[in-house]
Amino acid sequence: MSDKNAQNKHTNKHSFVDDMADEYRADTLTRLARVSLTLDELARAGAPDEDLLGEIKSHAHSIKGASKTFGFTGLSVVAHAMDDFLRNLDLDGGLVFLDDLERLNNLMISVTSASDIISQKTGEKMLSDLDLPMDNHGKGTHAKGQAIALLIMARGDERNAMARTLEILGLGVLTARDGVQAIELATVRRPDIIITTLHSDRLSAPELVQVFAEINATASIPTLVMLPEVDKKAGSTSKDAIALLTSELPPSVHKIKQGAKLNQQLSAKLVELGVISL
């Protein structure tokens, strides 16, 4: 294949992707316009309507599903927040959620219609600035006032065991296997505390601490890092452990050591931070 043909092929491929992204943007704006009309219908109805809410949920879920595929990373952040908001509505309170839902929809319209694609970090900032009480319209344990912990652990067996421990202590638990998933969950769900071990897939604890401290939506959430016991004879202290033990950490970061008394330390620290009361 000649250089000219190869260049044309690359150009055509790039144009096709651009066309698909443009189509997705147009389709999304159409869906969001329909959501706006449906919200008006809900307001006129004066009470929650499952059929109308079902239509809104369908649009939000479709937007969320394809947003990252076409590079709309900022929209993906807001779409996940809206989908989560809708899935956790408490309909017993009537239409108290309507104003916040309209604000979310308007934000999605702004993000989608921006001349330049909004980045994930900008999307997170815009969502944070919206200052929605994401947990006020939830259902289940969080809606009843139960504190929520976001648990970040790479190994599934250890993650499940620790989740059960936290539940016994009276917490609702969100789990993440890696730092990237944790950042998304923390931004959208706004847990009361973030708990992590030294390592998670893709991001280490020092890196996670730094990211959480820099994002407005998570900067004020206390982060608890469970450090492994140091084997002084074997000299097994890792670089990540040394970084956490010796560096100056944000005031929201706290440390406890894993070991035989982990559960006792954990419950004491959670009480100290005001996350639970025993």
Which range has the worst mean pLDDT, 74-78, 123-127, 143-147? 143-147
What are the φ and ψ backbone dihedral angles of 241, each rounded to 5 degrees?
-65, -45
Q: What is the pLDDT of residue 142?
A: 40
Burial of 264 per CB tally in 10 Å (0-12, 13-18, 19+): exposed
Q: How many other β-carbons are positioned within 10 Å of the β-carbon of residue 152? A: 28
Contact 133, 85 (CB under 8 A): no
* Residue 149, strand partner residues: 173, 193
Q: What does the mean pLDDT of the chain come to?
A: 77
The closest alpha carbon to 189, from 155, 141, 154, 252, belongs to 141
Q: What is the pLDDT of residue 7?
A: 47
Spell out a b/e string for 24-51, using b for 16 or more CB atoms within 10 Å of the CB, else e.
bbeebeebbeebeebbeebeeeeebeee
The token pair that represents 139 in the structure block: 């259902």
Classify domain 3-130 at the CATH class level: mainly alpha
Burial of 191 per CB tally in 10 Å (0-12, 13-18, 19+): buried
Integer angstrom CA distances of residue 174 from 118, 183, 263: 27, 12, 18
CA atoms within 13 A on the CB side of 213: 14
Place domain 146-272 in its CATH homologous superfamily.
Response regulator (3.40.50.2300)
Output 45 or 8, whichever has higher pLDDT.
45
Q: Where are the domains of the chain?
A: 3-130, 146-272
Contact 195, 152 (CB under 8 A): yes
Q: What is the pLDDT of residue 234?
A: 42
Quick one: what percent of the chain has pLDDT higher than 70?
Answer: 75
Using pLDDT thresholds of 50, 70 and 90, give the confidence band for residue 51: very high
